[in-house]
Amino acid sequence: MNKEEFIKSVSDLGINLTEKQLEQLEIYCNFLLEYNSHTNLTAIKEKDQVYLKHFYDSLTFIKATNLDNYETLLDIGTGAGFPGMVLKIIYPNLEVTLLDSNNKKINFLRELTMKLGLTKVNFFHGRAEDFCIKNREKFDVVTARAVSNMSVLSELCLPLTNVNGYFIAMKGSNIDEITESKNAITKLGGKLENIINFTLPKEDSGRNIAKIFKEKRTPQEYPRRYEKIVKSPLK
């Protein structure tokens, strides 16, 4: 996806990019590819693929909800900033927290934030269950892209989501994984409101976005330690 195709595809999503946003995304892309040459951030090494599989794919988030309506967003397992940093560029007034257990990726994001001149961006190097100790039910929107099994992911994300907020999971083509996690989501105080399925342009790979409403507080015993979550996912 070249830049012109990207602009057209994003416009079809309802986003009209400003010149400043396009410039910031170009800086992001170039810095990502440069940094990736000496530090492993992503398997993607071509500019067109960054625009398709990272930038455009991140922005499909808005199929689930309009971020103009919220103040805070947490991106768990953000990696090199997808979708959280891309969403921050498009919604500059949003306060975004980027969490990842890989400190090299957090360091990259700190440098990128300075390069882009962004404010209201927070970073946490560590695990979601540790972050939850002091940040329980703090965020209007919590998201994660291509991270872990849906039941595992729900236990990491829903305890951090405000009551009346949303957990938005950006997943691949396996819709059964989402539907099979409905009981786990309910136990954690959530309600599976919608599953949005679509294909990524150019390559027609399947995507699903699970939109989960946080209707009540998560029981205090969740999240458990990560090892326990993975060994015995909620059913």
pLDDT band at 203 (very low <50, low <70, confident <90, very high): confident
Report the pLDDT averaged over residues 73-79: 97
The token duo for 217 is 């507080």
Give the burial class of 58: count Cβ atoms within 10 A of its Cβ; 0-12 exposed, 13-18 middle, 19 or more buried. Answer: buried
Query: Which amino acid belongs to residue 95?
Result: E
Mean pLDDT of the chain: 95
Asked whether the predicted pLDDT for residue 170 surpasses 90, the reply is yes
Q: What is the pLDDT of residue 147?
A: 72
- Paired residues of 72 in beta bridges: 95
Helix axes 150-157, 128-135, angle to 10 degrees: 30
**What's the pLDDT tens digit per position in 2-12?**
999 999 999 99
Report the pLDDT averaged over residues 182-203: 95
68-218+225-231: which CATH topology? Rossmann fold (3.40.50)
Report the pLDDT averaged over residues 168-195: 94
Report the pLDDT averaged over residues 116-125: 97
Would the pTM count as exceeding 0.85? yes
The single residue listed with the structure tokens 């991140």 is 58
* Residue 95, C-beta contacts closer than 8 angstroms, at least 6 positions apart: 71, 72, 73, 120, 121, 122
Report the pLDDT averaged over residues 75-100: 97
